[in-house]
């Protein structure tokens, strides 16, 4: 079965006129009636009448189509009966198709690279933001070390900077968070050991806060 896709790929490269397109599909219809023979014979006068064009226009149109590789044609001793051959069309159209596919492939490839770079940049930015927030939280605790002690501050820091499934630290989920008040509550609850035991049977590994 013949596919019009090949012709339209050539059209993308050569930008055929309406007359050239009409001539091509007119000859395709003749081929169809000839069971898709590689070569067909057609009278010039018949074509000009059927398409309502002049012989000069016919000559220009078929020369353009031949140059594009849509078909070849031959005249014999000035005979009005011209032989049109389509045997090489598949080869030419495949070359054009490969060229178009390569161009599209390159465009898609470049777009994928850009998107990947954006994802990487976003991931790096997110990680940097996380580390910055963690460092800022650590700096807020630092002035209270003399009052509450290193061990308590280390435990407090480890608990509230634990990441949730959403990627945020525990303290980020709090609507209000005043470090000194939270530390006082933590001390009153004996370092909040009960909270640790409820959330995990195993104690959370303490991240050294003060060296």
User: Confidence band (pLDDT; 50, 70, 90) for 100?
Assistant: low
Distance CA 152, CA 158 (A): 10
Give the residue numbers spanning the domain of 22: 5-87
Question: How much is the pLDDT for 99?
Answer: 56
In a domain, 25, yes or no: yes
Q: What angle do CA 188, 193, 198 make, to 5 degrees?
A: 125
Radius of gyration of the chain (CA): 39
Question: How much is the pLDDT for 173?
Answer: 86
In a domain, 210, yes or no: no
By CB atoms closer than 10 A (0-12, 13-18, 19+), residue 184 is middle
CATH of the domain at 79: 1.10.10.10
For the chain, percent helix, then strand, then coil, each to nearest 5?
A: 65, 5, 25
In a domain, 144, yes or no: yes
Q: What is the mean pLDDT of residues 115-124?
A: 71
In a domain, 55, yes or no: yes
Statement to judge: residues 23 and 51 lie in one domain:
yes
**Phi and psi for 101 in degrees, rounded to 5?**
-60, -40
Statement to judge: residues 64 and 158 lie in one domain:
no
Q: Which of 87, 110, 140 is the last residue of a domain?
A: 87
Q: Which of 87, 109, 132 is the last residue of a domain?
A: 87
pLDDT digits (tens, 9 = 90+) for 13-67: 899 999 999 999 999 999 989 888 889 999 999 999 999 999 999 999 999 999 9
Q: Which of 51, 69, 87 is the last residue of a domain?
A: 87
Q: What is the mean pLDDT of residues 115-128?
A: 72
In a domain, 204, yes or no: no
Q: Count the neighbouring beta carbons within 10 Å of the beta carbon of residue 119.
A: 10
pLDDT digits (tens, 9 = 90+) for 65-89: 999 989 999 988 888 999 999 865 5
Statement to judge: residues 52 and 102 lie in one domain:
no
Q: Please report, rounded to a whole number, the percentage of residues in the chain having pLDDT higher than 90.
A: 38
In a domain, 10, yes or no: yes
What's the mean per-residue pLDDT of the chain? 80
148 vs 76, residue with greater confidence = 148
In a domain, 209, yes or no: no
124 vs 105, residue with greater confidence = 124
In a domain, 211, yes or no: no
Statement to judge: residues 83 and 136 lie in one domain:
no
Statement to judge: residues 29 and 64 lie in one domain:
yes
User: Confidence band (pLDDT; 50, 70, 90) for 164?
Assistant: confident
Q: What is the mean pLDDT of residues 133-159?
A: 90
Statement to judge: residues 63 and 116 lie in one domain:
no
Q: How many domains does the chain have?
A: 2
Q: Is the pLDDT of residue 106 over 70?
A: no
Statement to judge: residues 78 and 107 lie in one domain:
no
């Amino acid at each position: 079965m013949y596919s019009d896709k090949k012709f339209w790929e050539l059209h993308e490269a050569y930008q055929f006129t309406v007359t050239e397109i009409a001539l091509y599909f007119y000859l395709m219809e003749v081929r169809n009636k000839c069971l898709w023979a590689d070569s067909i014979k057609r009278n010039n006068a018949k074509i000009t009448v059927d398409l309502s064009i002049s012989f000069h226009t016919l000559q220009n149109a078929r020369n353009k189509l031949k140059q594009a590789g849509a078909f070849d044609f031959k005249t014999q001793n000035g005979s009005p009966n011209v032989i049109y051959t389509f045997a090489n069309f598949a080869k030419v159209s495949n070359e054009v198709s490969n060229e178009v596919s390569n161009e599209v492939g390159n465009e898609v490839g470049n777009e994928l690279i850009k998107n990947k770079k954006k994802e990487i940049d976003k991931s790096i930015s997110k990680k940097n933001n996380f580390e910055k927030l963690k460092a800022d939280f650590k700096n807020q605790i630092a002035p209270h070390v003399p009052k509450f002690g290193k061990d308590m501050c280390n435990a407090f820091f480890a608990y509230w900077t634990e990441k949730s499934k959403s990627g945020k630290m525990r303290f980020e989920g709090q609507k209000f968070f005043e470090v000194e008040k939270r530390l006082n509550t933590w001390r009153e609850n004996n370092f909040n050991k009960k909270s640790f035991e409820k959330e995990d049977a195993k104690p959370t590994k303490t991240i050294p806060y003060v060296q």
